[in-house]
Structure 1
Amino acid sequence: MGKAVGSKKEIVIVGGSYAGVLAAKTIFKKVDEKNIHVTLISPNAYIYFNVAAPRLVIRPSETERTLFSIKDILNGYSNSSTSFIQGEVISTKLEEKKLIVKTGQKNKWIDIKYQYLIIASGTNLGNDVIQNKFEGKELVSLIHRFNKEIHKAKSIIILGGGPTGVEIAGELGYEFGQCKNISLLTGKELPLTIMGEKKARIADSKLKNLNVKVTNAVKYKEIQKLSNGESQVLLEDGGVIKADLVINTTICNPNTRFLDEGFLDSKGYLKTDACFTLEDYPEVIGLGDVLSIGGRSLIDLYHYQLPIFEKYIEKNYMGKSWVRLSPYESPRQTMIIPISKSGGVGTLFGWGVPNIMVRFLKGRDYLIGQAKRLFY
């Protein structure tokens, strides 16, 4: 199955989050729509600007401003050269340049043919509030319900000392640190160890100043729901912590079940060359968090991966055979981590960012005001 497009190059994108949608935007920015047809496949009909999730759990009224119809976005790029399929890719037959897709229409299975394939299927974060597994109004309702759970809870445990865990802990501490028992279990020596010891210690201090109890160097083993509505967290050292609400930010698994294991690394991420193309399949390219290489951040995707993809577009979709593909090189660290709206910690191309800049760049509104402009 597939749309009849005549002599147009048929390009299929798997994934409807940042990498997939921005791939489509980049293609139509570079290529005349008369020469291509792009089909995007995603289990969700909406893209969710989940960068703002730590703020939304406190300010759920902003959620609708972070949801955008994928179909509307694609139609904005081109009415005649785009198709959207809401469904799940079950398997790939790369030799035949074909995907097997299960759609939501009574679990109907269809075949999708392509000339070029973009794998931008991202990762599964295991948390319904942090990641969109729902449709539009349902996600809005979910976040409002979660906000009510936060208000009701007297004790909250956040698992995971990475960027998301620290941001959520900071938001909760700023809003409720004086009236609730809020704990962060980092699982490492300090929160935000990815940013180096100096920034990690600053983050640790800022969280504690917001009345967040930070527990380092202890990992959780299991989360159990109790009959009284509480949850208890079993620790690897044998300890037990109880709370009214547990927020787990430690899960991150690549969405690659539809690919043969030979194309994946030991953790299930997509193996490619330095130009993001699949070995022996130059018509297949990966983008975004699904890659085994890359920074797994929106900044990395936008500023470092997409320029490489643009060269790929010129060479393959536009027929400029003389164009040389640019290899990916890990950039110097750029991370902006608000720890409440008052500021946080950050690095920009490896250089430290002062607290006021963290507040200005992201802490004020978590970029909600810029979300629509990113996709349209």
Structure 2
Amino acid sequence: MGSTTSHNQNQQNGSKPHLIVIGCNIGGMYIIRRLLSTKEWKNFSKITFIDKNDYIEWFQDLKVYITQPDETDFYLWKTGEYFQKHELESKNMEFVHAEVTNVVSSGYDKGGQIHFQNFSGESQIMDYNFLVICSGVQYGNPIKSDFRKWEQRKEELLNWNNKIVESESVVVLGGGAVGVELAGEISCQFSKTQNDQNLTKSGSKVHLVTRGAQLLDRLPENAGQYMLESLARSKVEVHLRSEVNDLKHKVNLDEETTLFLPEITKPGSSFLQNEQFKDSLDSKGGVKVNKFMQVENFQNVFAFGDCCNTGLNEEKGIPAVIQFGDTLFNNLCKLVHGKSRLQAIPKYPEVMQIIPSGPNDGIIILNYSLMTRGKTANTIHNLFINTIHNIGELIRRDKIIPWVLSITGFISKILWFAPISSRYRARKLREREMNSQKQN
């Protein structure tokens, strides 16, 4: 039975506050980047990042999961080593490898405590003055893993590659961006010829199953329709308005030789399912935030990224992390400095989405408008990924995430200078789609 340790960090009058960030992947990395670039880290007594994984996972190209698992060293590294290389401890930052089990607040405009358990079984309690939640979502394997150690995760990716190679059929669950890209890549990369050792067996099929009436249901309808046609050209059988059991009745699948790849997501918010925070969660477990990115009913607790519900039904991705992360960080700093006038998130956030569906196809979405498609979109995607890889060869690979966040942030800002008429049409389209979704 594990012991319990308490870390008392209550803010005294005139002392600097303690910031805790739950999650240290893309969202956590963005908070680190902003702390360093603004030097706001100096205004905190300590900044603690807590994550149940001891690794940072940066996969912008799903082919890494299925065709190039030997490349995972480039995209997967240990969080502790990242903190050491950048000497973050000298800037009041620390990383704790543990799983948060509960969050307690001392009041609307006060801090509180988090309860967490390390992987030696020891339970601990730590006080916070400000809390940021960027715990992401839980995908099914192989997109996200239940393994908490870097070594286990790396081995798991190799094993998943072998499973796909040996399967006669693959079923991808979910019609969002991840499911569409995964289905297209598997079908194209693993069905060209049965002679290559990295390809699936002859006659194999890829199925994509989604409950939705269209693919990419948070993007314009013509984007989903194009991807439906693209996957058909890649010989992916798409089953709309369907469940796995429906597929089993329609298609003769041998479950022993069929691999199921779930894209089903669940917000990483189990530690908030208590009496204090239960009203701050939506029906799916998403963390509800107000227009200032504060968790509903709590001034000193913020959330952003895939785990949160802004009420805008925005497509998740790096541009959303940057836009909402900027708002969150600015408001956090204003509260630390005693300012009450906070910045609100945009009603219609800017969107940049690049979704490939195989080696020669894909789409690019800007401001909820389908801007380009086909080989041109895929070429831009590959250029983006290759640039990341080439830059990573020139600089330390642990700088990839801050670099990509900077470049993507720059591109997102350029979108603000798009023609007014184009932006107006995009916003009207988004408004119409949001109203339609509310009616459904």
- Settle same-fold status: TM greater than 0.5: yes
CA contact (8 A) 1:125 1:249 kept: yes
Q: CA deviation at 1:110?
A: 0.7
Identical-pair percentage: 21
Relative to its length, the structure with more helix (as a share) is: 2
Indicate the residue corresponding to 1:231 in structure 2: none
Q: CA deviation at 1:100?
A: 0.9
CA distance in 1, matches of 2:252, 2:214: 19
SS of alignment partner, residue 283 of structure 2:
coil
SS of alignment partner, residue 65 of structure 1:
helix
CA contact (8 A) 1:308 1:328 kept: no
Instruction: Tell me whether 238-247 or 118-127 shows the greater mean CA deviation.
Output: 238-247
CA contact (8 A) 2:31 2:329 kept: no
Indicate the residue corresponding to 1:373 in structure 2: 400
The 1:74/1:287 distance shift into structure 2, 3 A limit, reads farther
Indicate the residue corresponding to 1:66 in structure 2: 75
Give me the TM-score of the superposition, normalised by structure 2: 0.74
Indicate the residue corresponding to 2:88 in structure 1: 78
Q: CA deviation at 1:323?
A: 5.2
SS of alignment partner, residue 288 of structure 2:
coil
Q: CA deviation at 1:67?
A: 1.0
CA contact (8 A) 2:62 2:181 kept: no
Indicate the residue corresponding to 1:104 in structure 2: 119
CA distance in 2, matches of 1:108, 1:248: 34
User: Which one of 4, 16, 23 corresponds to residue 15 of structure 1?
Assistant: 23
Indicate the residue corresponding to 2:291 in structure 1: 274
CA contact (8 A) 2:184 2:358 kept: yes
SS of alignment partner, residue 72 of structure 1:
helix
CA contact (8 A) 1:42 1:88 kept: yes
CA distance in 1, matches of 2:342, 2:217: 37
Aligned ranges for residues 270-349 of structure 1 at < 5 Å? 270-293=287-310, 295=314, 297-317=316-336, 319=337, 321=339, 324-349=342-367
User: Which one of 232, 242, 245 corresponds to residue 208 of structure 1?
Assistant: 232
CA distance in 2, matches of 1:267, 1:176: 35
CA distance in 2, matches of 1:25, 1:332: 21
Matched, 1:88 2:99: yes
SS of alignment partner, residue 285 of structure 1:
strand
Q: CA deviation at 1:332?
A: 4.6
CA distance in 2, matches of 1:98, 1:364: 45
SS of alignment partner, residue 111 of structure 1:
strand
SS of alignment partner, residue 282 of structure 1:
coil
Q: CA deviation at 1:279?
A: 3.6
Q: Structure with the greater relative contact order (CA < 8 A, sep ≥ 6): 1 or 2?
A: 1
Q: CA deviation at 1:97?
A: 0.8
List per-residue Cα deviations over 1:271-315 (Å, max 9, x = no partner): 221111134421111111111116352224333112202321430
Indicate the residue corresponding to 2:417 in structure 1: none
User: Which one of 348, 361, 367 corresponds to residue 380 of structure 2?
Assistant: 361
User: Which one of 163, 177, 184 corresponds to residue 163 of structure 1?
Assistant: 177
> Which letter maps to 1:85?
V
> Which letter maps to 1:57?
I
Indicate the residue corresponding to 1:122 in structure 2: 136
CA distance in 1, matches of 2:170, 2:383: 24
CA distance in 1, matches of 2:350, 2:334: 27
Indicate the residue corresponding to 2:408 in structure 1: none
> Which letter maps to 2:31?
A
Q: CA deviation at 1:91?
A: 1.0
Aligned ranges for residues 146-295 of structure 1 at < 5 Å? 146-178=160-192, 179=202, 180-220=204-244, 234-235=245-246, 238-239=249-250, 241-243=252-254, 244-259=257-272, 260=274, 261-293=278-310, 295=314
Q: CA deviation at 1:42?
A: 0.7
CA RMSD of aligned residues (A): 2.7
SS of alignment partner, residue 121 of structure 1:
coil
List gaps (5 residues or longer) in structure 1.
Answer: 221-233
The 1:364/1:165 distance shift into structure 2, 3 A limit, reads farther
CA distance in 2, matches of 1:281, 1:14: 16
SS of alignment partner, residue 173 of structure 1:
helix
List per-residue Cα deviations over 1:68-110 (Å, max 9, x = no partner): 32223334262221111111111111116111111112x1011
Aligned length: 360
CA distance in 1, matches of 2:315, 2:378: 22
Instruction: Tell me whether 149-158 or 292-301 shows the greater mean CA deviation.
Output: 292-301
The 1:25/1:321 distance shift into structure 2, 3 A limit, reads same
Q: CA deviation at 1:270?
A: 1.0
> Which letter maps to 1:102?
Q
> Which letter maps to 1:139?
R
Relative to its length, the structure with more strand (as a share) is: 1
Q: CA deviation at 1:153?
A: 1.6
The 1:3/1:366 distance shift into structure 2, 3 A limit, reads farther
Indicate the residue corresponding to 2:433 in structure 1: none
The 1:366/1:165 distance shift into structure 2, 3 A limit, reads farther
List gaps (5 residues or longer) in structure 2.
Answer: 1-5, 193-201, 404-440
SS of alignment partner, residue 336 of structure 1:
strand
Q: CA deviation at 1:263?
A: 1.9
Q: CA deviation at 1:50?
A: 3.3
Give me the TM-score of the superposition, normalised by structure 1: 0.86
Q: CA deviation at 1:350?
A: 2.4
> Which letter maps to 1:195?
L
SS of alignment partner, residue 300 of structure 2:
strand
CA distance in 1, matches of 2:136, 2:231: 30
Q: CA deviation at 1:242?
A: 1.3
User: Which one of 37, 43, 51 corresponds to residue 35 of structure 1?
Assistant: 43
Indicate the residue corresponding to 1:227 in structure 2: none
